[in-house]
């Protein structure tokens, strides 16, 4: 079965159809939830080296994959005092590079698990690997700076927000980008004239909740009304519904993508989004994903149907959502 026949599709311009010959006039992104190469994953890969994204790369085509990097990238052992702290070895970044993960969001509650020095080390390692990052910086201005990804003349802006209060970047302090709505709206207004599309990445919500709360929904609507084209959310570690609002897309939580923080997450089901952008149209597809031994692959058959049904059920709270394309 062709992949496109088993994805949930929202085409914002339904009369626009893209074919293989259009590849020089569009840019394709894969957008995911949390990626974490800590603890259980690290122990497993020490016993047996494996290509995390080997099967993934064979089955999915894209220009850029964007993940929420839910750990610091550091060799430090000096963690902050909290129940769960996550880090990945810098040498494992090659797995991300090989998979075409060339952009990560670091505006989350684990980028600062090893303090200010861990933040700075994370930035250095990502820069050295050629992985662009949003939502983190050596100061307030740098953390708020969008990543402009341009290909085939199409300019997309990516801005990340979220983090822990004690490690929000300031004028003189490294950290993550605050999820302050006033700043979000200002950033969108500033960025809107210089790009074709704006994607806002938010680390928010309550863990394990299958629906966003009313405050999230109202905030998301204001962000779209201010000029953003899409919102990608994460933090709950589970899939939440996808809303279609004023012709734009809000994915409140994409759950986990590859989450190695604990052994219970070695096998599970999830979903990612694929966005195909031209200068004046975008096509958004939800792709069901099966993860086995922390290795993702597009799901098929009953597994795909189950994931789609879950997304459909969790989207019923919205006035408009995406629909099946069979």
Q: Return the sign of the alpha-carbon dihedral for residues 236, 239, 244, 249.
A: positive
Q: What is the mean pLDDT of the chain?
A: 91
Q: pLDDT confidence of 39, banded at 50, 70, 90?
A: confident
> Which residue, 281, 202, 262, is CA-closest to 40?
262
Domains along the sequence of the chain with CATH: 3-324 (3.60.21.10)
User: Per-residue b/e over 82-103, b at no fewer than 16 CB within 10 Å?
Assistant: eeebbbbebeebebbeebbbbb
Reading the block at residue 71, the tokens are 């750990």
Q: pLDDT confidence of 10, banded at 50, 70, 90?
A: low
Torsional class of 77: left (φ above 0), alpha (ψ -120 to 50), beta (otherwise) = alpha
Query: Distances in Å between the alpha carbon of 33 and those of 66, 196, 273, 305?
Result: 9, 24, 9, 20
Report the share of the chain in percent with pLDDT over 90: 86
* pLDDT at res. 262: 86
* Whole-prediction pTM: 0.93
Q: Say if residues 26 and 276 touch (Cβ distance below 8 Å).
A: yes
Q: At residue 1, does pLDDT exceed 50? A: no
Query: Distances in Å between the alpha carbon of 88 and those of 40, 45, 125?
Result: 11, 12, 11
Q: At residue 130, does pLDDT exceed 60? A: yes
* pLDDT at res. 81: 94
Encode pLDDT of 242-264 as tens digits.
Answer: 999 999 999 999 999 999 998 88
Encode pLDDT of 191-214 as tens digits.
Answer: 999 999 999 999 999 999 999 999
Q: pLDDT confidence of 238, banded at 50, 70, 90?
A: very high
Q: For residue 168, give every residue at least 6 positions away whose Cβ sits within 8 Å of its Cβ, in sequence order, or none.
A: 175, 176, 177, 178
Q: Say if residues 276 and 282 touch (Cβ distance below 8 Å).
A: yes
Q: How many whole angstroms separate alpha carbon 244 and alpha carbon 266?
A: 32
Q: At residue 178, does pLDDT exceed 60? A: yes
Reading the block at residue 311, the tokens are 């997304």
Q: At residue 7, does pLDDT exceed 70? A: no
Q: How many whole angstroms separate alpha carbon 194 and alpha carbon 199?
A: 13
| pLDDT: which is higher, 21 or 308 | 308
Encode pLDDT of 65-84 as tens digits.
Answer: 999 999 999 999 999 999 99
Report the share of the chain in percent with pLDDT over 70: 92
Q: pLDDT confidence of 48, banded at 50, 70, 90?
A: confident
- Over the Cα atoms of the chain, what is R_g? 18
Q: pLDDT confidence of 22, banded at 50, 70, 90?
A: low
Reading the block at residue 31, the tokens are 């957008």
Q: At residue 289, does pLDDT exceed 90? A: yes
Q: Say if residues 122 and 87 touch (Cβ distance below 8 Å).
A: no
**Helical segments of the chain, H only:** 39-47, 54-59, 93-98, 115-129, 140-144, 181-191, 214-225, 301-314
* pLDDT at res. 283: 93
| pLDDT: which is higher, 137 or 18 | 137
């Amino acid at each position: 079965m062709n992949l496109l026949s088993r994805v949930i599709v929202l085409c914002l311009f339904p009369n626009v159809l893209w074919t293989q010959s259009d590849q020089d006039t569009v840019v394709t992104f894969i957008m995911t939830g949390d990626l974490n190469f800590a603890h259980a994953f690290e122990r497993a890969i020490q016993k047996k080296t494996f290509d995390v994204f080997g099967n993934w790369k064979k089955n999915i085509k894209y220009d850029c994959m964007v993940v929420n990097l839910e750990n610091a990238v550091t060799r430090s052992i000096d963690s902050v005092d909290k129940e769960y702290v996550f880090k990945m070895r810098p040498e494992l970044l090659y797995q991300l590079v090989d998979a075409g993960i060339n952009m990560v969001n670091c505006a989350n509650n684990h980028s600062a698990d090893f303090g200010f020095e861990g933040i700075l080390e994370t930035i250095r390692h990502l820069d050295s690997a050629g992985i662009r990052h949003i939502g983190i910086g050596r100061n307030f201005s740098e953390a708020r700076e969008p990543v402009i990804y341009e290909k085939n003349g199409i300019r997309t802006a990516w801005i990340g927000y979220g983090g822990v209060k004690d490690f929000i970047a300031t004028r003189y302090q490294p950290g993550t980008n605050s999820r302050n709505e006033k700043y979000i709206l200002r950033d969108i207004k500033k960025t809107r004239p210089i790009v074709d599309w704006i994607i806002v990445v938010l680390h928010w919500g309550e863990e394990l909740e299958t629906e966003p709360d009313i405050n999230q929904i109202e905030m998301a609507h204001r962000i779209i009304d201010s000029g953003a084209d899409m919102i990608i959310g994460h933090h709950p570690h589970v899939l939440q519904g996808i809303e279609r609002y004023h012709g734009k897309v809000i994915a409140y939580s994409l759950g986990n993508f590859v989450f190695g923080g604990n052994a219970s997450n070695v096998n599970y089901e999830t979903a990612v989004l694929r966005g195909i952008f031209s200068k004046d149209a975008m096509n958004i597809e939800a792709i069901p994903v099966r993860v086995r031994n922390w290795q993702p692959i597009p799901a098929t058959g009953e597994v795909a149907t189950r994931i789609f049904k879950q997304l459909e059920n969790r989207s019923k709270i919205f006035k408009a959502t995406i629909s099946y394309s069979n």
